Amino acid sequence: MKFLWLMIVVFLFPVSVSAQESGACDEITAENVIPDADCLAWMEGFPEPLVEDIPLDTETLNSYNFWRVGPHTVNLYDAPAGNVVEQIPAGFNFVRAVDTSVEGWIQAASGLWISRSDARLTQASYFRGVLLPNGIEYPFAWILDKTGIYTSEYPGGTPSEATGRIPLRYERVNLFAEVVGADGWTWYMIGPNQWVNQRFVAVVKPVERPEGVQGRWAAVDLYEQTLVAYEDDTPIFTTLVSTGLPDWDTNEGIFTVWARLIVGNQSGATGAPDSYALESVPWIMYFDGDISFHGAYWHDDFGYRRSHGCVNMTISDARYLFEWTGASTPDENGDIVTYVYVYSSGTYVN
Contact 342, 251 (CB under 8 A): yes
Q: 124-138, 142-156, 219-233, 324-338: which has the minimum mean pLDDT?
A: 324-338
Note the pLDDT of residue 273: 63
pLDDT, mean of residues 301-305: 97
Domains identified in the chain, total number: 2
Nearest of 124, 95, 126 to residue 111 by alpha carbon: 95
Query: Is 168 a domain residue?
Result: yes
* Mean pLDDT for the chain overall: 90
Note the pLDDT of residue 269: 61
| pLDDT bucket at 274, cuts 50 / 70 / 90 | low
Q: Evaluate if residue 63 carries a pLDDT over 90.
A: no
* Interval 331-346: pLDDT, tens: 878 888 999 999 999 9
Q: Evaluate if residue 329 carries a pLDDT over 60.
A: yes
Query: Is 109 a domain residue?
Result: yes
Q: Evaluate if residue 174 carries a pLDDT over 90.
A: yes
Q: Evaluate if residue 16 carries a pLDDT over 60.
A: no
In angstroms, the CA 337 to CA 183 distance is: 45
Note the pLDDT of residue 4: 34
Q: Evaluate if residue 207 carries a pLDDT over 60.
A: yes
In angstroms, the CA 122 to CA 127 distance is: 15
Q: Which of 156, 184, 203 is the last residue of a domain?
A: 203
The CATH number for 110's domain is 2.30.30.40
The whole domain housing 80 covers: 65-122
Reported as type and span, the H/E element at residue 287 is strand 276-288
Query: Is 71 a domain residue?
Result: yes
Q: Evaluate if residue 17 carries a pLDDT over 60.
A: no
Reported as type and span, the H/E element at residue 195 is strand 194-197
Virtual torsion, Cα 148, 151, 152, 155, nearest 10 deg? 110
pLDDT, mean of residues 112-135: 96
Query: Is 105 a domain residue?
Result: yes
Is this prediction's pTM over 0.85? yes
Query: Is 345 a domain residue?
Result: no
Sign, Cα dihedral of 114, 315, 344, 154:
negative
Q: Which of 185, 203, 221 is the last residue of a domain?
A: 203
Sign, Cα dihedral of 150, 130, 221, 58:
positive
Other Cβ atoms less than 10 A from the Cβ of 85: the count is 12
Within 89-214, strands assigned E span 92-99, 105-108, 113-115, 119-122, 130-131, 140-143, 172-174, 177-180, 186-191, 194-197, 201-203
pLDDT above 70 covers a percentage of the chain that reads: 91
Q: 6-10, 186-190, 234-238: which has the minimum mean pLDDT?
A: 6-10
Query: Is 261 a domain residue?
Result: no
76 and 118 together in one domain: yes
3-state class of 140 per DSSP? strand
In angstroms, the CA 17 to CA 22 distance is: 7
Note the pLDDT of residue 22: 66
105 and 157 together in one domain: no
109 and 152 together in one domain: no
Contacts of 162 (CB under 8 A, 6+ apart): 153
189 and 145 together in one domain: yes
Note the pLDDT of residue 19: 40
Query: Is 291 a domain residue?
Result: no
Note the pLDDT of residue 44: 93
Q: Which of 95, 122, 149 is the last residue of a domain?
A: 122
pLDDT, mean of residues 272-292: 88
